[in-house]
Structure 1
Amino acid sequence: MAQERNVRRIGIIGFGHLGQYLAGMIEEEGHQHGFELAFVWNRHQKKMDGNVRKELQLEDLNKFVARCADLIVEVAHPQIIKDYGEEFLKHADCMVGSPTAFADQEVDTRCREAARRYGHTLYIPSGALWGALDIQKMANRGTLKALKVTMSKHPDSFMLQGHMHELKERTKGQRTVLYDGPVRNLCPLAPNNVNTMAAAALAGHNLGFERVQGCLVADPSLLNFHIVDIEVTGPVNKSAGHEFTVKTSRRNPAPPGEVTGMATYTSFWSSVLNCKGHGGRLFLC
C-alpha cells in the first residue's frame, strides 16, 4: 500500500486527447490540489516527445511500481485493465477510464477482489453519464427496474469492431441504429465508444451488464454534438398504477471524428479531484 504523502502522485496511462488534457491539468493546477505527475505512459512513446518531460515518460509499463504512484488513471484501452488491473490495485488506487473492460465478468471479479485485498479504490468516472449517482442510489435500494442509454454520434466518431464496423460503413449516409440490446454484448464491439454505457451498468448494479440496455446510433446530421439519452424506470405506485420514470438528454459539443465530447474532459478532471482514497472497493466518482 502506498505510504501517506503530502503530495498525491498520479500516473497517466494513455496519451490521446483525454490523457493529454489530464496530464496538462496536473502539471498546471496539480499543486493547488496536492497532485503531481508520477509518470505518463503511451503505447507509442514518440507521441509524448516534446509534450511530456523526459523524466516523466514511462517506457515500460511493467516498471510502473518504481514511479510510486498513489493513483493510476487509465485512459487508453480496456485491454490495459484486463492485463494490468489487478497489478495496479496491488500498489495504488486506480481510476478506470475504459470500464468496458468490466463487461468481461472475470476481469470485473479479479479487480474488485484486488481492491478489497489490498485496500485500494477502484474508481469509475461517471464521464458522460448524467445522473450516475442517482442511478446508483436506486440500484442500492433495489428500486431501479430498467435503464437504457442511447448514444448518438456522427459515424466518424465511432471506432467499431467486426460486423458493426461493416454496418456503419455500409449505411454511412443515413441515420442507422447500429445496436440495441444488452450492454455486455456491445462492449467488445465498441470498446472505445460505450464507456458511458459500461459506467451505467456499474452504477445500476442490480441490473448489471446483462439487463442495462444500450442503443448505438450513427447519425451523419450530428456535426457538432454527441447526444446521450438516458431512460430510468423505477417502481410502480401499486395503488395508482403509476410508474416512476426519468429521461435526460445530454448534448455534448464535439466535432465529427472525435470520440470524446468536450464536456467529458472536465467531467474526468472533476473525477480525478475526487480520487483521494475511499477504501478497498469500487467507487463511482
Structure 2
Amino acid sequence: MNIGLIGKGALGTFLLEKINVDQLIPGCRITAIIDEREHAHIDLARIAHDYECVPFDSMDAFLDSTIDLVVECANIDVVRKYGEAILKRKSLLLISIGAFSDVVLKERMEKIALEKGHQIYLPSGAIGGLDIIKAANFAGALDHVTLTTRKPAHSLTSVQLEEEQVIFQGSAKEAIHKFPKNANVAIALSLAGLGIEKTNVTIIADPYSKKNVHHIHASGSFGDYEGTIMNNPSPENPKTSYVTGLSILATLKNVHEPIKIG
C-alpha cells in the first residue's frame, strides 16, 4: 500500500519514521508528501529526501501519483479545502476529525466515497471505548455521553495558571470551534454516539498535569460505561497525545487485515 501524506509536522514525521524507517507495517510505505505553501518548499524537499519519498506542491499531481490512500495530518482547513477532491480519486484517513462538525461537509464526503467506492478512515485517536458507544447507540440504548478532557495548561492557554481551571463547558460542536486543535476526540466520540449537539464536553487546563487525560461517561438502557485514558503528550507537540500517532498506525495496519477487531 502506497500512502500519500498531507502534513509534515510532529505527527507526519512520526509516521514517516515508523513506516518508512522502522518498516512497522509490512508492505506499507509513504511514497508521496505534499505541502502547497511556497515558504515550505525547502523544508519539504529535505524531509522527502531524508525519508525517501516524492515531494509535491500540487494537489492534482499528488493525487495522480501511485498512492493508494491519503493520510491527512494537517488541520481542519485542509480537510474543508481538499476532502471532497481527494475522495473522488482516493480513499482518505482523517486525523482532523473535527472537520466533521460541519454536518453538510460530512454528508457530501460520505456521498462521494459511496459513489466512488472509496473509504473514509477515522482513527480513534487519543481515546478508547468507541466500539461500546457505537454499539449502544446503534441499538437505541444510549441516552447520555459526557467527555471531560484535562490537559497541561500550557497546551491550552497562554495565561499562567496557579490552579486548574475549567476553560470550556458545552457541546462537542462548540468545543471544536473554540479549540480546533484540542477537541478532535470530542467529534470522534460524537460520531460514534449521540452527535455533536448532544455530546457534552468539559475542558480543564491544569498547570500540574503532565498528561492528556480523557474521561468518558455514557449511560442508557445498555448500562453505564466509564473510561479514562491518561495519555503522555507527544514530545514534539504537547497538544497531541502520543497514542494518536499509534492509533493511525493501527488503523493503517487494519486496512488489509483478514481479521478486524472492534
TM-score (norm 2): 0.88
- Checking the alignment, whether the CA contact within 8 Å between 2:217 and 2:224 is kept in structure 1 is yes
Report the CA distance shift for 1:90/1:258 in structure 2 as closer, same or farther (over 3 A): same
Q: 2:19 aligns with which of 16, 26, 49?
A: 26
Shift of 1:50: 3.1
Report the CA distance shift for 1:201/1:16 in structure 2 as closer, same or farther (over 3 A): same
Give the AA of the match of 2:13: Q
Pairwise CA RMSD: 2.4
- Checking the alignment, whether the CA contact within 8 Å between 1:154 and 1:256 is kept in structure 2 is no
Report the CA distance shift for 1:65/1:50 in structure 2 as closer, same or farther (over 3 A): closer
Map 1:32-111 onto structure 2 (within 5 A): 32-42=25-35, 43=37, 44-53=40-49, 56-111=54-109
- Stretches of structure 2 lacking an aligned partner (at least 5 in a row): none
Equivalence for 1:252: 231
- Checking the alignment, whether the CA contact within 8 Å between 1:15 and 1:47 is kept in structure 2 is no
Equivalence for 1:273: 253
1:225 aligns with 2:215: no
- 1:162-192, Cα deviation, whole Å (9 max, x unpaired): xxxxxx4456333111111110111121111
Give the AA of the match of 1:225: K
Give the AA of the match of 1:217: I
Q: Distance in 1 between matches of 2:75 and 2:218?
A: 28
- Checking the alignment, whether the CA contact within 8 Å between 2:5 and 2:73 is kept in structure 1 is yes
Q: Distance in 2 between matches of 1:55 and 1:247?
A: 43
How many residue pairs get matched? 254
Give the AA of the match of 1:51: I
TM-score (norm 1): 0.82
Shift of 1:264: 2.4
Equivalence for 1:155: 153
Equivalence for 2:118: 120
- Stretches of structure 1 lacking an aligned partner (at least 5 in a row): 1-7, 159-167, 237-243, 278-283
